[in-house]
A and B are shown apart, each in its own frame.
Chain A
Amino acid sequence: EPEVTQTPSHQVTQMGQEVILRCVPISNHLYFYWYRQILGQKVEFLVSFYNNEISEKSEIFDDQFSVERPDGSNFTLKIRSTKLEDSAMYFCASRIAGGTDTQYFGPGTRLTVL
């Protein structure tokens, strides 16, 4: 069964450094999402992406964040200058166009900012 994949599984970085989290959505999906989950808390929406542009973003998704679909398979989340409070699990999700509303989540990238 097709799955969303994410790399790396764990990223440790120093405060102020840039990180890029990578996702490969399911191949025929057209809607892509990033969510984050601070340890022990609920899952929070960051951004949705469709047709090569952001369709919606949350208050969390400030100027330090950006997303890109650099080729036909990858979907990336960049954090330009990481802060301690960016430490969280970051989940990528994708959805097929039309029909089902089901979003399929990847296994996540645990980001630790020191």
Chain B
Amino acid sequence: GQQVMQIPQYQHVQEGEDFTTYCNSSTTLSNIQWYKQRPGGHPVFLIQLVKSGEVKKQKRLTFQFGEAKKNSSLHITATQTTDVGTYFCARLAAAGNKLTFGGGTRVLVKP
């Protein structure tokens, strides 16, 4: 199937440091979405990328879609304890609009 793979599975970050999580697909993606799930919470939509090479920023979060549209990244600068959670990328299918989620990167922040 058309899966999306995420690395790393876990990320332990010192507060104030930067980190990046990656999402990869073996096939070309028409789009990629990113979600954040706080511990015990539900997925919350962050952003959607559709264009090759697209870069979008939300405060300390920078999202990028690869030129070949086979990978995406989320970079967080100056990590804060509020960034704790699992970050998922997801592929949105055209028909029916089902989301196929990656395995997620679980982020733990050390104060």
CA distance A33 to B100 in the complex (A): 12
Chain A residues positioned under 8 Å from B43 (CB to CB): 43, 91, 105
Shortest beta-carbon distance from A107 to chain B in Å: 5
B102 adjacent to chain A (CB < 8 Å): yes
| 5 shortest interchain CB distances as A-B pairs | A56-B96, A45-B98, A43-B101, A105-B42, A55-B96
Binding site for A on B (CB under 8 A): 31, 33, 37, 41-45, 48, 88, 90, 92-93, 95-104
Cross-chain pairs A/B with CB under 8 angstroms, 28 sampled: A31-B97, A33-B98, A33-B99, A35-B99, A42-B101, A42-B102, A42-B103, A42-B104, A43-B37, A43-B43, A43-B99, A45-B100, A48-B96, A48-B97, A55-B95, A55-B96, A56-B93, A56-B95, A56-B96, A91-B42, A101-B33, A101-B97, A102-B48, A103-B99, A105-B43, A105-B44, A107-B41, A107-B42
